[in-house]
Structure 1
């Protein structure tokens, strides 16, 4: 069903601490598994790579950066790299309790219901004004209410297209229904965490595409490399 939209929850204090270490220290400590105990607790309702996989992602990428001064703090080193945003994204994933990930095609459905208006274009899924509205709407409905609204909207769209809702006639109905319930519930959960936990920031991006486009405003990855980490309100 295409590319995935990602809302990555990032623990800003943990990221700030990690970025103060020298590059060589991050490499050595991560290779030895020494950073695992300080990693955020994984959120079972969200998506997060295992420690060993996240370590490998950073270390494999780090190995390709042959010209970097590894005695520098890692943030300074990343700022000097041609594709430093990619490395920063690896470290943000390390400092994350998890991410909400969803196919773009399904994100339209969820956002239309959550915002009460049509999200017309794929670019709007990632636009900062859209996400400002999403955050503003968070908490106005309970998770159960949002899930029910999404399911009702999904069913009405199928009926309008003349599609069956009989699971015996279409075996995909039940697994699709369950996927919508899980994804909508996880979105509500992620937004609730962002609202209630001031140390967390949400970084929005598109899986498998350039890291330079991840994040909004001062949390855009290029902006972070140019100006440093913003403070959390």
Structure 2
């Protein structure tokens, strides 16, 4: 089952980077002097390594750099798509890489587990995992989670998990199922991290939750005005 992933992105820095030129970006990536633009990592979260993202961006420019001009990155990508020099998937890849660069932390969990963390915050049950990628689901869920104190939210997740197990006739006796403790710890860790994301979004207006999944095409990352494909076609959202 694929992981659902959330990037907690500093959109102000992201915008600064996508309005640089490809030549400036490439030069600074190669010389490793763009690193001071990365937002500080949230101590409760993890994120992609700087060196890996530099490599990903430079690999993209090695392959596609001849298809873009000397203007701002976001404008050149749109022009390249309009002129059919780049497919939308290829054009959105550098936007995705730079969103990771500007992330203060990332979160990931199996889709089945995400339902456990999110569904109780909603007014209705989700019919399937695909609904986890709808904008309104995360808008409602993260707002409610952010208004709940961390301990209460984590406790509610664990109690809900236990209730669901018992409803399925599964044991809560760790002597009969040695994985119970490790599974509970995983739920605690994931729910604490998700609460941290919700708290940061409530606290800081310049942060957004960019939602996607493992192996998802770059143009499908994000919902609503922050969908990467939409940004490329419609321009940068007004915030």
TM-score band (shorter)?
A: over 0.9
Compared with structure 1, are the counterparts of its residues 128 and 194 closer, same or farther at alpha carbon in structure 2 (3 Å cutoff)?
same
Equivalent residue for 1:177, pick from 180, 184, 187: 184
Contact 1:194–1:201 (CA under 8 A) maintained in structure 2: yes
1:209 Cα deviation after fit: 1.3
Aligned-residue CA RMSD (Å):
1.5
Q: Secondary structure of 1:65's partner?
A: helix
Task: Classify 1:130/1:118 alpha carbon distance in 2 versus 1 (closer, same or farther; 3 Å).
Answer: same
Distance in 2 (alpha carbons) for counterparts of 1:5 and 1:158: 22
Distance (whole Å) between structure 2 residues aligned to residue 63 and residue 33 of structure 1? 17
1:5 and 1:102 in contact (8 A); partners too: yes
SS at 1:203's partner residue?
A: strand
1:193 maps onto 2:213 in alignment? no
The reply on whether 1:45 has 2:44 as its aligned counterpart is yes
The number of residue pairs the alignment matches comes to: 231
Structure 1's unaligned 5+ residue stretches are none
Confirm or deny: 8 A CA contact 1:47 1:101 kept in the other structure: no
Partner of 1:204: 211
| Match in the other structure for 1:119 | 126
Shift of 1:66: 4.4
Aligned to 2:67, the other structure's residue is in SS state coil
CA distance in 1, matches of 2:121, 2:138: 11
TM-score (norm 1): 0.93
Output one character per residue of 1:149-180: Cα deviation in whole Å (capped at 9) or x when no partner.
Answer: 11011111111122111222212111110110
Is the Cα contact below 8 Å between 1:10 and 1:92 reproduced in 2?
Answer: yes
Structure 2: 5+ residue runs without aligned partners? 81-85
Q: Distance in 2 between matches of 1:52 and 1:70?
A: 25
Give distance in 2, aligned partners of 1:193 and 1:101: 16
TM-score by length of 2: 0.91
